[in-house]
Structure 1
Amino acid sequence: MRYLTKDERREAILQAAMRVALAEGLAAMTVRRIAAEAGVATGQVHHHFASVGELKSLTFVRLIRDLLDAEVVGEEASWRERLRAMLGSDEGGFEPYIRLWREAQILASRDADIRGAYVLTMEMWHQESVAIIQAGASAGEFTLSDRAENIAWRLIGLVCGLDGIYVLNMPEMDDNAFNSHLDKSITLELY
């Protein structure tokens, strides 16, 4: 059996925390639960991370980075399809990430570590959206009536608002309605 370096052990604990977060949520991320998942003593978790708050926030940021980097559409996709995928993919495998995002939004109001991580991930999402909008404009597919940064925030705000209504299971906001509203807003903003 090979011993892990300090960095390898830290990464193994972080990977375990990511598995716990996706399967059970941020609230389930106790030192004891993460240590059990990683197969280490609880002292190892404390040794590698300053606090459970730090570990939760790092885990959340890493998982959202994975979500933002996921290949949802291929290289041949139009800029509209790429933007649509960045703002709200219908890919069912992303549901654990979306549940985590919703939980972090709620926890952000009372947990400074999660709030910082949530703000960072919103900025990451915004940057990715801006890059797609700018690339689509450069390719001649999008027409910008405002700065790409402003358009991206409006579209992200719309998605967050629609998602807030969607989770209420109102019959007026099913998958089709969500997609229709988002598609119409993309058209109004960029065409």
Structure 2
Amino acid sequence: MGEKSEQKKKYILDKARTVFSEKGYKNVTMKDIVDACDISRGGLYLYFSSTEELFLAVLSDDVTTDDDEAIGAALSGEASAGDMLALFLKEQKKEILRKKNNLTVATYEYFSVHKVSAKDNPLKNQFDTAVRIVEKLIENGVQTGEFYCENPLGCARNLMYVVEGLKISSKTIGISEDAIDRELMYVLEGLVPDDEGA
């Protein structure tokens, strides 16, 4: 694909993300995307053949961008493990609280009716990448004495399950910023060594 085609595809993905975040997944039609992009139906079909293909492309685009930046930051070693973990969780919290361009509802609508293999599931890939990042940060913190943890992988998985639960709660039952802070701190408190040493 040429540069102009790539730019057009990126434009369609950006507009589609907004439409999916506003309407969910199941209520979006190709006409909605055509209208949002102000292009012809044929122009849209040059790039995407269905709302499903388009939605998965939007998810994959989000996952790739976020993961590349987060992995680079986590492995840079320029800040302490605690500072990096705090920064990572701050970004997760922003996503939980984000009202505009939030794909949580659309994502859960899609995956509640479409069975996707684990290797093709961008959410699973995003979750697994986040677990690896947190695990690496915890391991680094254990090596420097910032953290105490006998099972960094288990702790990282647990933390990301909490984050995913908070994302769902924010869209279904509502959750305050204080409640998010409290739940994340509860998990993190287990990493801080006590005064007697571990």
1:26 and 2:25 matched: yes
Identity fraction in percent: 18
Amino acid at match of 2:47: H
Q: Hey, what's the Cα distance between the residues in 2 that align with 1:46 and 1:110? A: 24
Q: Which of the pair has the greater relative contact order for Cα pairs under 8 Å at 6+ separation?
A: 2
Matches within 5 A, 1:29-108: 29-66=28-65, 69=69, 78-87=80-89, 89=91, 90-91=93-94, 95-96=98-99, 99-108=102-111
Per the TM alignment, residue 63 of structure 1 is displaced from its structure 2 partner at its CA by 2.8
Q: Hey, what's the Cα distance between the residues in 2 that align with 1:93 and 1:153? A: 17
Amino acid at match of 2:125: L
Deviations 1:99-152 (A, max 9, x none): 422441343120246982322222232233233323333443222311x32211
Query: TM-score, structure 1 length as denominator?
Result: 0.71
Per the TM alignment, residue 88 of structure 1 is displaced from its structure 2 partner at its CA by 5.5
Runs of 4+ residues over 6 Å off in structure 1: none
Aligned partner of 1:168 among 170, 173, 176: 173
SS where residue 112 of structure 2 aligns?
coil
Aligned partner of 1:144 among 139, 142, 149: 149
Per the TM alignment, residue 12 of structure 1 is displaced from its structure 2 partner at its CA by 2.4
> What are the ranges of 5 or more consecutive residues in structure 2 without an aligned counterpart?
71-76, 194-198
The answer as to whether partners of 2:30 and 2:51 remain within 8 angstroms in 1 is: yes
> What are the ranges of 5 or more consecutive residues in structure 1 without an aligned counterpart?
none
CA shift in 2, pair 1:177/1:4, >3 Å = closer
Q: Hey, what's the Cα distance between the residues in 2 that align with 1:189 and 1:48? A: 47
